[in-house]
Amino acid sequence: MKNISSLHSCYGCGVCATICPPKIIDIELNPEGFYEPRIKDTSRCTECGLCLSVCSFVDKEVALKANDIEYYAAWSKDNAVRRKCSSGGIGFEIGKYLISQGYKACGVRYDCDANRAEHYMADTVEAYIPSIGSKYIQSYTLSGFKELNRKDKFLVTGTPCQIDSMRRYIRKLRIEDHFVLMDFFCHGVPSMWVWKQYVKEVEKLTGKLTYVSWRNKQTGWHDSWSMGIEGEDGGEKINWHDSYAMLMRGKKSYHYFSRLSTGDLFYQFFLGNACLGKACYKNCKYKMSSSSADIRIGDLWGKAYKENEDGVSAVLALTEKGKALIKEMQEYCVFEKRTAEVVMEGQMRKSPPMPYIRKRIIEQLREGKSLFHISKTTVRLYKIACLPKRVINKIIRIIKWER
Ligand SMILES: Cc1cc2nc3c(=O)[nH]c(=O)nc-3n(C[C@H](O)[C@H](O)[C@H](O)COP(=O)(O)OP(=O)(O)OC[C@H]3O[C@@H](n4cnc5c(N)ncnc54)[C@H](O)[C@@H]3O)c2cc1C
Ligand code: SF4
Ligand code: SF4
């Protein structure tokens, strides 16, 4: 059939479900723990082909070809925003500014009941606060995308693959003028089975999870990979819809707190690329400046700001709309024009190779094995097996560097 039914292990962006006229597409987790579309009732499919026409997975090319990209190092002038956000707080500032200009902002929050990250729509700054901070898991998009319409103005933020499909969607509907699209440099998304297992293990200590933050700058931005979790058995609870001031105040201690630098297991699986989505390995066409967004943001890791511990955002203005937006926002943020090399230093140039243990890890997660067990057995053996290759690569890098 001329529809998305034969697609598997795609980006799971949900734009096909958003455009489908009879609304017969659902987005569900596949056996590996990644979102995937499924046609609920094939008999109602009219084979209009709209779902395929907006799908960025089936196209080898990125929808937008950006010219004369402007590169910036940037941060919010509001210290509370900068402290709370993952890097320099530009993601939140752009949302805040566009809301003040009458836009609705579609970002990602964490739903503690469903244990998932999900897109949602905000039309006030207060409502946009839960979007602050990266949630390093794949988001369920339909909850937010279903609110899009032809008459209002929207900011949509998401992973580059989600945004590439969104660009095709707004072009198809001829509503591009009403939209600002924002993506970020993207490492990839881990299987939801890693996240669900992690939550299961942490909840033994905290009780039902009530709040989670993936980044925390208590010991500086460069050491900000840390999970801060509150549970029902803990003392103070944070309500997502608390006041602006409350959420910005920065918590001193969490009920459960675990850093990558001291061995956090979620981060070991995620940043160690042990079980990312299949598309994140060989097929990702969105590295460096390849994007369909108006603005790309990220962490500006690299030599130029290595002493900065407050957080610096990398910002790419890819379209005229993106460039104009940066000019309008000078009052709220610092934007330092830099070269591409400075702004993108430290970003992944290409996708990581898929480790052969990925399938085994996912199987073990589905069997309910603990992350600790998998890490101590499967992952450790893999690292030992890869040691000779890593040593050779290191020697090649040193030789290249000395030339
Ligand atoms: C899965 C993932 C992988 C990333 N990989 C990299 C990387 O390799 N290099 C890099 O420099 N930066 C990466 N980032 C982006 C980085 O973590 C920061 O979000 C970015 O630097 C912006 O920070 P900020 O301080 O401006 O704003 P923040 O307040 O951190 O803004 C985050 C924005 O991202 C959106 N968002 C949060 N979680 C998700 C999600 N799961 N799916 C879609 N949108 C989401 C929110 O709606 C918000 O608008 C990644 C983010 C995610 C979610
Ligand atoms: S072909 Fe049209 S009707 Fe059929 S699933 Fe795709 S969008 Fe829906
Ligand atoms: S790495 Fe590529 S395919 Fe994977 S979520 Fe990010 S943009 Fe999408």
Reported as a single tens digit per residue, the pLDDT across 257-301 is 888 888 889 999 999 999 999 999 977 999 999 999 999 999 999
Residues with CB under 6 A from ligand 3: 11, 159-161, 186, 188-189, 277, 279-280, 284, 286
Atom of ligand 1 lying closest to residue 137 CA: 41
Q: Tell me which of 80-89, 226-235, 271-280 is least confident.
A: 226-235
187 lines ligand 1 (CB under 6 A): yes
Atom of ligand 3 lying closest to residue 189 CA: 5
Map out the domains of the chain as residue ranges: 4-53, 65-352, 370-402
CA angle 69, 290, 308 (to 5 degrees): 70
Atom of ligand 2 lying closest to residue 16 CA: 7
The mean pLDDT of 214-238, rounded to a whole number, is 79
> CA dist 254 to 103, 250, 259, 327, Å?
34, 11, 12, 38
Q: What is the pLDDT of residues 318-369, one digit of tens each?
A: 999 999 999 999 999 999 999 999 999 989 999 999 998 999 999 999 999 9
Which pLDDT value is given to residue 287?
96
Q: Tell me which of 34-43, 61-70, 267-276, 373-382 is least confident.
A: 373-382
Expressed in angstroms and rounded, the spacing between residue 17 Cα and the centre of ligand 2 is 8
Portion of the chain with pLDDT greater than 70, in percent: 91
Which residues pair with residue 317 across a beta bridge? Answer: 70, 295
| Residue whose CA lies nearest to ligand 2 atom number 4 | 45
The mean pLDDT of 130-134, rounded to a whole number, is 91
Which residues pair with residue 105 across a beta bridge? Answer: 122, 155
| Residue whose CA lies nearest to ligand 3 atom number 6 | 188
Residue in the block written with tokens 């997660």: 365
